[in-house]
Amino acid sequence: MDVFTLIAFASTCFLIFLKASTAIDSISPSEPLPHGKTLVSNDGSFELGFFRPGSSGNRYLGIWYKNIPVGTVVWVANRVNPINDSSGMLMVTTTGDLQLLSQNITVVWSANSTKAAQNPILQLLNSGNLVLIDGRDGNSGAYLWQSFDYPSDTLLPGMKLGWDLRTGLDRRLLAWKNSDDPSPGDFTWEIELQGNPEAVLWKGSQKYFRSGPWNGIGFSGAPYLGPDNLVFSYEFVSNEEEVYYMFSLKNKSLLSRIVLNQTDYTRQRYTWSEETRTWKLLTFVPNEYCDKYGLCGTNGNCDSTQLPACQCLKGFKPKSPGGWSSGDWSQGCVRNKPLNCQAGDGFIQFGTLKLPDATHSWVNKTMSLKECRGKCLQNCSCMAYTSLDIRGRGSGCVIWFGDLVDIRQFQFGGQDLFIRMSALELGYGKKQVVIIVISVMLTGMVVIGLLCYIWIKRRRKQGGGENEEMELPIFDLTTIVKATDNFSSDNMLGQGGFGPVYKMLIYEYMPNKSLDYFIFDQTKKALIDWQRRMHITGGIARGLLYLHQDSRLRIIHRDLKASNVLLDKDMNPKISDFGLARMFLGDQTEARTKRVVGTYGYMSPEYAVDGHFSIKSDVFSFGVIVLEIISGKKNRGFHHPDHNHNLLGHVWRLWMEERALEVMDTMLGDSYTVSKVLRCIHVALLCVQKRPEDRPDMSSVVLMLGSENPLPQPKLPGFYVERNLPKEEVSSSPIKCVSVNEVTISKLQGR
């Protein structure tokens, strides 16, 4: 039995013991809380009373969830001084102090109020916070004392983890020693105060795991935990008065908690499943090899996708080559070429990183990134810099001094870091820099001039037209003929909406072709079972999340479809064909075009009809793809003898009739899990809702696909009816050119 099973068992025992106890709603000097009575919150969510953990004979005063069958303690008062008999009484003194007595005389725990009170009252709030108030103040929120300031091993929604700098109060979690003993162990979670604060897990006196600094969106060491989701919201405050992290629940009916587990030294987030009547583990850290603090030593970079996982940063080499090759990376890496501050050092940009340990860092909240670079160059001890806040175009400045420790490489997410390098490592000196800059500027001017000339000349030939920006590069015929060996069929790989694809015109060859090659073929679809289909679905979701949120510029694909999802030799998906993609700058979230491009069957309603597109347009396309993956059928061209709906309408109809499993591809046999299938269908229907504001963003989609939290009910999907339009209707439809083989189509404008 693990520690949580033991805790659950023990808690159940003491809850049964307290069934006959009397519940009260407050404690005052005239009415203490003796053994046999409990204090209950107004909504009945939490309960305060005496309990015995596990097989221990000791008794403690604690708070637990009241209305769930698995007893779960979230706070303990007398962790260090248990009561070893049946006595015990919690009292509020007339001056507003709390005292826990044994044998009615010995004080085993006490808490002092911040100021004197004439009418002190102790109450348990619906949040699980035990508060001492002055009855004269009512419910003003002015607490004389609160348990949320002195957490045990559990962080609840609305509870602050961090510092009150005005009083020096450090709110941190300390794990239970074991299931029988709630006294503090050696596993701690706290906010470390420094130039750039971050959350740190300690194992004894050694750093065990750190979150990475907060970058305005999240912790740089947790890129998959996006701020915009349907379950949680996060807050990190760092000012002259407070530094703290806090999470809240968007759905107040949910139960969720973060707890430290000393048995396996992990920080775990649980949510309560009403369906299974158990706590479900949602996330935990550390959860993989590269989470271990400082695994690769100084100036090393841990990448869990590589073997070995530890790599020296570019410009560095192992300090101990023999130890490094044998798997001992503790000595880290040293520079290939030493820095020379007077000779013109520069920087190399590294992307998608967990930022280094911020112990030796400096922060300025008002500097731009350019000013930050200059500040770092002026100080010969500065080793790296980046933006403090990456929202929008970025703001603020963080610089690091000395060796860089505990860097980790992510595939997407993370943050950019600019690391100082010598001019010799960069391959140029000051004079070369000037020459290169001038050369690049001149070349750029020539190229821009040529492109403008070609564009103007082409526009004149076409008789003018609307002022649309040029979205694709222009190649002359001679270049294309040479690149394709005079359009040789031997060089052609396939054909898309813009024409044939040739080997000299692609950047990476995908041996397993595209997703539609498998899921829409009656023979080949048998090669991808449920697990592989879900692997592909998750890969597409994470790829879109990178485009929408984690890349430097927000990218809207605008033509996401099964044929544009390529598969490598291991069936890993890669989103392709960015010929129609648009980039958003700064805080831009949506745009409108007069030239609608995309593929009918995958386009969202607001885009196809009005030309409005945003990240929610791609979300709609993703939802269509998920339903196609599950069913093995195309959305457009779907036929059913009982109705004229397309695939979206068919799934919606089955969903409303609680027969959603009937949409499953029969080739999957029994390789799937019913709950997983229903969840995927549920998420897909949320993505294809008619109104873009109702659809989740991709960070929420990734979270929903990977968890078991309750989901909102989907609304009517967009474009859910398929009609066989006669020829005269096609010309008046929003899409002026439609192709049944799903090539890219455009809304043509007269010139």
The catalytic site residues sit at 559
DSSP state letter for 165: T
d(CA 364, CA 118): 46
**Is the torsion defined by CA of 220, 537, 596, 487 positive or negative?**
positive
d(CA 292, CA 132): 40
- Within the chain, how many helices (H) and strands (E) appear? 14, 44
Distance of CA 477 to the CA centre of its chain: 46
Residue 384 φ/ψ, nearest 5 degrees: -165, 160
Q: Which residues contact 246 (CB under 8 A, 6 or more apart)?
A: 158, 159, 160, 161, 234, 235, 236, 237
Scanning 462-589, the segments in alpha helix (DSSP H) are 477-483, 516-519, 530-545
Burial of 440 (0-12, 13-18, 19+ CB in 10 A): exposed
CB 631 within 8 A of CB 651: yes
Q: Which residues contact 228 (CB under 8 A, 6 or more apart)?
A: 697, 699, 700
Burial of 499 (0-12, 13-18, 19+ CB in 10 A): exposed
CB 145 within 8 A of CB 132: yes
Helix (H, G, I), strand (E, B) or coil at 160: coil
Amino acid at 265: Y
d(CA 65, CA 627): 39
C-alpha separations of 28 from 77, 137, 270, 540, 544 in Å: 18, 15, 34, 58, 56
C-alpha separations of 462 from 82, 177, 473 in Å: 88, 78, 17
Tokens 């940063």 belong to: 313
Tokens 């005079």 belong to: 486
Q: Which residues contact 95 (CB under 8 A, 6 or more apart)?
A: 113, 116, 117, 120
> What are the percentages of helix, strand and coil residues in the chain, rounded to 5?
25, 30, 45
Q: Which residues contact 550 (CB under 8 A, 6 or more apart)?
A: 223, 352, 412, 413, 414
DSSP state letter for 402: S
Distance of CA 16 to the CA centre of its chain: 40
CB 422 within 8 A of CB 338: yes
d(CA 474, CA 751): 20
d(CA 200, CA 293): 10
Rg of the chain over Cα atoms, rounded to whole angstroms, equals 31
Tokens 């309408």 belong to: 649
CB 290 within 8 A of CB 301: no
Helix (H, G, I), strand (E, B) or coil at 560: coil
d(CA 629, CA 562): 9
User: DSSP string covering 267-336, please?
Assistant: EEEEEEETTTTEEEEEEEES-SGGGSTTTT-BTEEE-TTSSSSEEEPTTEEESSHHHHHTT--TT-EEES
CB 697 within 8 A of CB 616: yes
Closest among 703, 632, 680, 671 to 531, alpha carbons compared: 671
